[in-house]
Amino acid sequence: MDSEKDLKELRERSARWRDKQDLTSQRRPAFKTPSQVPVEQLYTPESIADEKYLDDQGLPGEFPYLRGIHASGYRGRLWTMRMFAGFGLPEETNARFKFLLEQGQTGLSVAFDMPTLYGYDTDDPRGAGEFGTCGVAVSSLADMETLFQGIKLDQITTSMTINSPAAIIWAMYIALAEKQGASIDKLGGTIQNDILKEYIAQNEYIFPPEPSMRLVTDTVEFAARNVPRWNPISISGYHIREAGSNAIQELAFTLADGFEYVRHAVERGLKVDEFAPRLSFFFNSHNNFFEEIGKFRAARRIWAKEMQDTFGAKDPRSHQLRFHAQTSGQTLTAQQPENNVVRVSFQALAAVMGGCQSLHTNGKDEAWALPSEEAALQALRTQQIIAHETGVTDTVDPLGGSYFVEAMTNELERAAYDYFRRIDDVGGVIPALETGFLQREIADSSYIYQKEDDTRERITVGVNEYNTGAGTEIPLLRVDREGEKKQIDSLNNVRRTRDNREVAQRLKALEQAARASENTMPHLVEAAKAYATLGEMMDVFRDVFGEYHPSWGY
C-alpha cells in the first residue's frame, strides 16, 4: 500500500464489503485447507500488511529465497524431469531407463525392491515373494553394473531412493563409476539416506536411531571431502505426507529433521558451509493447489533464516533449499484411474509454481501397480507440456505477490514454528520419534483426512461422488516371477567367481571401522569392489549396531 491512509481506507471499505456478503448463499459455512487453515473469502493488501517486501520476500536468487533460489527461475534452466523407475531384474530397469532418456527425461531415479530396501540379498528367505515388486533388485556390484549398462555415470545425475542401506548402495555406485573410469569428484546425484523419516513414517529402519545417524553422517562427511557434487541426503517430507500428515506437519517435521542432520554433522567436526550446500529436500505435491505452493515457498524462507541465524552459515548456497517434488501417490484412485492424469497434472503444476528443482510425475495406474511404460510416458509428457506449452516458466515466481499465496505462505510458516517449539519441548527430533509424538500427530491428521472423505465433507471425484462406472480398464505392469530365479542364479555366480578371501578381509575391515567410530564409507567402497553383497555388509552393521524395536505405542 502507498500509505497508512490507504491501508486504513482499505480496511474500512473491506469491512463494509464483507458486511454486504450473503454467507448463506455460499457452498459451505467455512472454507479450509486439508491442514485446517481457514481460507478467507477475499485477500487484499491488508492480509499481508505487516510484510516488508525486501526482508520477507526479497528478490529471486536472493535471501531469504522465498521467490526461488535462482534469479532467472526457469527462464535459464527447466527443472530436471526425473521419473522414478525400477522393477524386476536390473536389465529390465536398465531398459526402462533408456526408454525414458530417449523420450526426453533428463535425470535418473532408481526405485529398489523391498528386500533391497531392508538390506537383504535376493535369496534371503526374509524377502521371499517380494522380488522386484516395488523396485529393482540389487544385491551386489554385478547388479549395479547391469542396471547402468551403457550409461556413463559421470554424464548424468542419478537419484537413489534407499535409506538404511544407503551407504552401501552408494558405495556400489561409486565403485561402478571408478570401474567406468570416472573421477568420483565429478559424480552428481543423490541418495535419499533420510533415516529419521523412516522412524516417523515409512518404517524401513533397521538400526537404532543413533548408529543410524552415525552412518548418515559418515556419508555427509565422505561426500563433502571426496564427492563434492553429490547430495548425501534428500531430506524427505514425501513419505511423511503419504503416511497421513497434513502440509504443515510435512513442512515442520521435514525441516526439523534437516536441522538434526546439520547438528550431527557439526558435532562430527564439519563446518556447516562444508556440507550444507549439498543437502537437498524431497517434498510431496498434493491436491490443494495454493496450500502446496505456500508450503514450498515457506520451506525456502524457513531454511534460509535458520541456516543463517541458528547455524551461522555464511555461504549463500547453504541458505538455499533445493528440492525434488513428486506428485501424491496417496491421492491416486483405483476407481476411474484415468482421472489420475488430471490430478497429477495439477499437482505437477503446483510443484513448478512452487519452484522445484526436479520433479517426478506419477503414472495414472499407480493405485494398482508400478507404472506401465505407457503410463510413465504419459506422466513424463505431462511435465513437458507444463514446461513448453503453458507459459508458466516464462517469468520467475508467477504467483509471488498474490495476497492469497503470500498470506498462506505466512500462515504455514507460523504453524511450522509452532511445531518446532513443541518438538523442542519433548527434547528434540530423536526423543520426539522415540516417544511416538510425531507418529501420533500424523495418525491424528490421517484420521481427520479420511473422516472428511467418508462423510463427503471433501469430494473425491469417482470415489465418493460422480462414481458411476469403474472407468476404463487399463493395462498393468506385471513383474515376471521367473525373474527371481534368474536373479538368485546370478547372485550365486557372483559368490562363486569372486575372491572370497578378499571379501572376508574387506568385511573384517568394515567391522573394525564400525566398532572404532571410523568413517565406514571407504571400507564400504572397497568391499563393494570385491563384490561383497548387500546382505553381507548389512549383516556386519547388524552385528555391531543391533536392530531397533520401538517401545512406544498408540
- Mean pLDDT by runs of 10 across the 554 residues of the chain is 78 87 84 96 92 93 98 96 90 94 92 96 93 93 98 96 98 98 96 97 96 98 98 98 98 99 98 98 98 99 99 98 97 95 98 97 93 93 98 98 98 99 98 97 97 95 88 78 90 98 98 96 99 98 96 72
Tell me the C-alpha distance between 542 and 536, whole Å: 10
Query: Domain range for residue 188?
Result: 75-391+400-454
pTM: 0.95
Tell me the C-alpha distance between 52 and 296, whole Å: 20
471: in domain: no
Helices (H), 369-517: 373-389, 403-425, 429-434, 437-454, 483-497, 500-515
pLDDT at 352: 99
The count of structural domains within the chain is: 1
247: in domain: yes
354: in domain: yes
Q: What is the CATH number of the domain that holds 384?
A: 3.20.20.240
Tell me the C-alpha distance between 137 and 131, whole Å: 7
Contact 331, 347 (CB under 8 A): yes
538: in domain: no
Q: Of 353, 374, 355, 352, give the one whose Cα is nearest residue 365.
A: 374
121: in domain: yes
Helices (H), 354-401: 373-389
pLDDT at 272: 98
pLDDT at 477: 77
pLDDT at 454: 96
Contact 506, 526 (CB under 8 A): yes
Count of helices and strands (H, E) across the chain: 21, 9
506: in domain: no
59: in domain: no
530: in domain: no
Tell me the C-alpha distance between 271 and 87, whole Å: 39
Tell me the C-alpha distance between 311 and 305, whole Å: 9
Contact 479, 87 (CB under 8 A): yes
CA dihedral 501, 506, 508, 510 (to 10 degrees): -170
Contact 95, 103 (CB under 8 A): no
Which of the 8 DSSP states describes residue 149? Answer: T
Which of the 8 DSSP states describes residue 491? Answer: H
pLDDT at 554: 60
CB within 8 Å of 491: residues ≥ 6 apart: 121, 122, 123, 139, 140, 533
